[in-house]
Amino acid sequence: MLVAGIVAGWGMPVTADIQRGRLLYENHCQACHTSVVHVREQRKAKSSAELRAFILRWSGELKLKWSDEELADVYRHLNNLHYKFPVETPAK
């Protein structure tokens, strides 16, 4: 699946900027997505890969053209605030 390959390619830099992710999310996503969307069982991402796929899909739908770093920042913000998936560390 193409999306899975693209999503896996982001990597999660340890230096992902949660604050920038919050601002990107608030400016581009929060108008339609209240915090309820992230905690309801029916649509909640069940894994970090699913969360990344949702971010990638909707950033594309909105034609945001976010960089890999910006995608990672939004992921880190949402994960830190709502999902609490284990933090990934870069391979050595």
pLDDT at 14 over 90: no
Please count the helices (runs of H) and the strands (runs of E) in the chain.
5, 0
pLDDT at 76 over 90: yes
With CA atoms as reference, report the closest residue to 75 among 6, 12, 8.
12
Q: Which residue has the higher pLDDT, 8 or 24?
A: 24
Q: What is the mean pLDDT of residues 37-47?
A: 72
Question: How many beta carbons lie within 10 A of that of residue 72, not counting itself?
Answer: 22
Give the separation between CA 45 and CA 81, rounded to whole angstroms: 13
Give the separation between CA 30 and CA 34, rounded to whole angstroms: 6
* Residue-range domain boundaries for the chain: 2-83
Q: Which residue has the higher pLDDT, 34 or 21?
A: 21
pLDDT at 51 over 90: yes
pLDDT at 33 over 50: yes
Q: What is the mean pLDDT of residues 47-69?
A: 94
